[in-house]
A = this chain, B = another copy of it.
Amino acid sequence: MTPGPTEIPERVREALARPIANPDVNPAFLDTYRSLTADLAAVYSTEKDIVVLGGEGVLGLETAVASTIESGDRVLCVANGLYGEYFAEFVASQDGDPVLCSFPADEPIDPNAVREAIEKAARDGEAFAAATFVHCETPTGTINDLETVLGHCREAGVLTIVDAVSSLGGAPVPMDETDLCIGASQKCFSAPPGLTTLAVSEAAWERIEATDARGLYTDLEPWRDIETTGEFPYTHLVSNCYGLAEAVSMLREEGLADVFERHEASAKRCRELGAEIGLDTDAEEPLCSPTVTAFEVDSALAIQGVLHEEHDILVGTGLADRENDLLRIGHMGYNADVEHVERTMDALEDVLDGSDDWDTGF
């Protein structure tokens, strides 16, 4: 019950164990890949191109930046949490010039403030080449409503990059005004880590072609016509593709509306049961994510340890300097299930009731 990697259902694990078709030589692999991206487009709810890269979600985030940002490009990194701030590191690592536009972790992103930052930069002759956003701030269980602010970027001609790693497949992701939207296999899809997905707009492709990318593994350019040519820049992760394809098929069989509703119901039940035992969420509604809930606690590490040891349930703690202050319950993908949530919260109540007995003196 961590916020990813999530438990992998048996059907997906069986798909991983299939004998493989050689992805370099056997044309059957291109059919697999085409079918996977078509199914993913339905999950993204977009007609934009979908690309599946062979690596963890961090590869997708870095690739989006590395393929579109050149040395010296100014990039507005909009953040109301750690992951938003991390985007500045991806930009800096490409010799771009990141400008943080930060909001407190418990407050929504203010579209007007972002618009003003974009307009001021343009007036000053320092226009932004791109802006980055995080849809679900996994570290605090915050989901951002990005439609308006993405619209402002589009009007100003600023390329938009959205990290939807921990929401894609569990909640509708903002697509209309998004140029690059990144997902990963191990979150709401409940496939193993190893594949990262990108939805790529026509404007993004144009930028990618105009950008002199450094690096090969993080360059999207060779992927533009991949479904026609089949000339993958490396041997694709064929077993992982089988697993993700099965996982996405399961979402489509269930129906996306039902999948999203299942996530919402699990999140709601998690917050209700938390409230019953006196736990506050870090994010306030409507910022509470349907995929992960962060409760404010003392001694998160101790609680995590006892839950794992005594109840065989693994949950997340906070990150960085909030490591011990937040307990994070993942209800994403296969684990987005009211019964799973109830079992977890029952166990948590039990652990908190017994906290007097802990060595840590909770």
Contact = CB atoms under 8 A, between A and B. Distances in A.
A174 interface: no
A192 interface: yes
B22 A235 contact: no
A292 to B, nearest CB: 13
A314 B55 contact: no
Contacts of A304: 25
A233 B86 CA distance: 12
Contacts of A238: 5, 192-193
Q: Which secondary structure dominates chain A's binding surface?
A: loop
A302 interface: no
Interface stretch (A57-65, A154-162, A249-257): A57-65
Interface string A1-44: 01011011000011011111011111000000000000000000
B239 A192 contact: yes
A223 interface: no
A214 B5 contact: no
Nearest to A16: B16
A356 to B, nearest CB: 26
A86 to B, nearest CB: 10
A14 to B, nearest CB: 6
B25 A18 contact: no
A56 B240 contact: no
Interface string A100-112: 0000000000000
The CB with the most chain B CB atoms within 10 A, among A14, A56, A93, is that of A56
Given A54-B56, A54-B59, A57-B235, 4 more contacts: A58-B235, A59-B217, A94-B215, A217-B217
Interface of A: 2, 4-5, 7-8, 13-14, 16-20, 22-26, 54-59, 62, 66, 89-90, 93-95, 186, 192-194, 214-218, 233-240, 243, 304, 308, 314, 316
